[in-house]
Amino acid sequence: MGYTDKLAGKKIVVIGGSSGIGFGAAEAFIAVGAHVTIVSSSQEHVDDAVKRLSKTAVEVGASSTVIPKGVVANVRDEAAFTSALQALAPVDHVVFSAVDKIIRGSLADADLDDAKYLFGVKFWGSVTLGKILVKYDIISPGGSLTLTSGGAALRAAPGAVLGGALNAGVINLTQGLAVELAKGSPGGKNKNIRVNTVVPGLVKTELWDKLGKSKEEQEETFRKAAEQLSVGFVATPVEIAEAYLYAVRADYANGTTILIDGGAVNV
């Protein structure tokens, strides 16, 4: 099978696919012929995203059988989330990009209760998903799980202590799950399920609106950041989606951290 049609007809679930980086990944998978189902905790967001993804399918000339679907499920509710994934099984690949909010700011002024709540989606959500996939046969043998971390995990920066710790935890979890999901249950058959994590740098997404900054303030932040990046611009989810395509298609990548940050680590 050629590079261009490697994911054609594959069933891919994108958790957190109703907006931001997850939505960008979902669009990319549709463009290469995959059957995409997005999962989000909001019915309104799911309906809107499915409508936009259906438009994408038409624009890229996808097969009439490539019809985006959506499921409402909250990763904070383990039992309900488990049932939702079991209902979708078997699938070929799962991508997790769910996040409530960007954690930024001084540690001295941080609301730790708020931080713990935010950890509940990105970190504990990843743990919950990993547990479900280890325990149940959701992903078909030879498939993959791709998690999402963040650049703060790899490079200390002012205002990113909590975010760095959260994202570093996801990277460590990725390496452990790469072993757990590859071997399958004790005494069982090797599942050959790969686990990798994408580590985006600065990205323009809807999450920035939740920080309380105006569009003008956000654009100024992005402008200054772009001047420091060797690529000369700040990514949108479209650019980041390339890393998810790689993670899902690269059969020899397992337990891998895939950095896509515009050259920020070299600044």
In a domain, 3, yes or no: no
pLDDT value at residue 210: 73
Tell me if 215 is assigned to some domain.
Answer: no
Domain range holding 135? Answer: 9-207+236-262
Other C-beta atoms closer than 10 Å to the C-beta of 44 total 10
Report how far residue 148's alpha carbon sits from residue 218's, in angstroms, rounded to the nearest whole number: 23
> What percentage of residues in the chain have a pLDDT greater than 90?
69
Largest CA distance in the chain: 58
Span 148-191, pLDDT tens digits: 999 888 887 778 888 889 999 999 999 999 999 987 655 556 78
Whether pTM exceeds 0.75: yes
Q: What is the mean pLDDT of residues 53-61?
A: 91
Angstrom distance (rounded) from CA 10 to CA 42: 25
Give tens-digit pLDDT for 112-152: 888 888 788 999 999 999 999 999 999 999 999 999 999 88
CATH number for the domain harbouring residue 129: 3.40.50.720
The region of weakest confidence among 84-88, 158-162, 237-241 is 158-162
**8 A C-beta contact, residue 9 and residue 92:** no
108's CB contacts (< 8 A; 6+ apart) are none
Q: Does the pLDDT at position 72 exceed 70?
A: yes
Residue 91 lies in a domain: yes
Burial class (CB in 10 A: 0-12, 13-18, 19+), 239: middle
- In-domain check, residue 228: no
Q: Tokens at residue 79, please?
A: 């039992």
Helices (H) and strands (E) in the chain, counts: 7, 7
User: What total of structural domains would you count in the chain?
Assistant: 1
In which band, very low, low, confident or very high, does the pLDDT at 266 lie, cut at 50, 70 and 90? low
Q: For residue 96, is it within any domain?
A: yes
What is the C-alpha to C-alpha distance for residues 197 and 44, in angstroms, rounded to an integer?
Answer: 28
Residue 214 belongs to a domain: no
| pLDDT (average), residues 226-255 | 96
Flag whether pLDDT at 82 surpasses 70.
yes
Residue 147 placed within a domain: yes
- Are 106 and 160 within 8 A, CB to CB? no
Residue 75 belongs to some domain of the structure: yes
